[in-house]
Chains A and B, each alone.
Chain A
Amino acid sequence: DGGITQSPKYLFRKEGQNVTLSCEQNLNHDAMYWYRQDPGQGLRLIYYSQIVNDFQKGDIAEGYSVSREKKESFPLTVTSAQKNPTAFYLCASSEGTGGYYGYTFGSGTRLTVV
């Protein structure tokens, strides 16, 4: 079955460490997105990529980095520069390069700073 897979489901980070969240899709979708969700909050866009080897900052990119070396993969690194990284992170993909095609979301990664 086609889908979008995020791993791990739970992740713990020590202060000052970088961590990388994985997002893989086998839907042959062009665009991929990373969102952050805080308790009781909506979805805030971190980064997005509409084509391999290219990506753009979203609304809250500071303290995060991404790469898009393969169409199927869009990993997100939460760096030590992100002062409040504890949150639920969602990856999504879309068939075209715009929202008009709708998004398919992964099941999320819950990151906790310890």
Chain B
Amino acid sequence: GENVEQHPSTLSVQEGDSAVIKCTYSDSASNYFPWYKQELGKGPQLIIDIRSNVGEKKDQRIAVTLNKTAKHFSLHITETQPEDSAVYFCAASLDFGNEKLTFGTGTRLTIIP
């Protein structure tokens, strides 16, 4: 089955700087890659996703890049703000049958004011 590795497990950045979280996946047939943000005591919320026919996607300060050849994808947050502090999960899925999302182990991002 699919295996997703996520790094780093913790990340601290100064407010206003950029943060990058990286994930690698094992199944070359995977072609859907969402990112979730989980605030303390809440459920994860989808913040951005990308499908394999696209190499990069942006939404304001958030971007995701995908390198299918290397089987890795990354979340980029620019101009970080205190409200960006949370746990971020990456995930991957195939697009056929009933394959489930496979999640990474999460990254705790702390923005230092």
Question: A residues engaging B (CB < 8 A)?
Answer: 6, 31, 33, 40-43, 45, 48, 50, 90, 92, 97-100, 102-108, 110
A42 touches B49 (CB 8 A): no
Query: Which of A45, A104, A106, A110 contacts B100 (CB under 8 A)?
Result: A45
Tally of chain B residues near chain A (CB < 8 A): 28
What string of 1s and 0s marks CB contacts (under 8 Å) between B8-39 and chain A?
A: 00000000000000000000000110101000
Tell me the interface secondary structure of chain B in the complex. loop
B53-61, B62-70, B73-81, B91-99 - interface stretch: B91-99
B101 within 8 A of partner (CB): yes
Chain B residues closer than 8 Å to A92, beta-carbon distance: 43
What is the CA–CA distance of A57 and B108 in the complex, to the nearest angstrom? 29
**Within the complex, what minimum Cβ distance (angstroms) separates B68 from chain A?**
16
- Interface contact tally, CB-CB below 8 A: 64
Query: B-side interface residues toward A, CB under 8 Å?
Result: 31-32, 34, 36, 41-46, 49, 89, 91, 93-106, 108
Tell whether A48 pairs with B43 under 8 Å between CB atoms, given A42-B105, A98-B93, A100-B95: no
Shortest distance between the CB of B85 and any CB in chain A (Å): 15
Given the known A-B contacts A90-B43, A99-B91, are A42 and B106 also in contact in the complex, defined by CB atoms under 8 Å? yes
Residues on A with C-beta less than 8 A from B96 are 98, 100
Which residue of chain B has its CB nearest to the CB of A58?
B100
- Select B98's contact among A6, A50, A102, beta carbons within 8 Å: A50
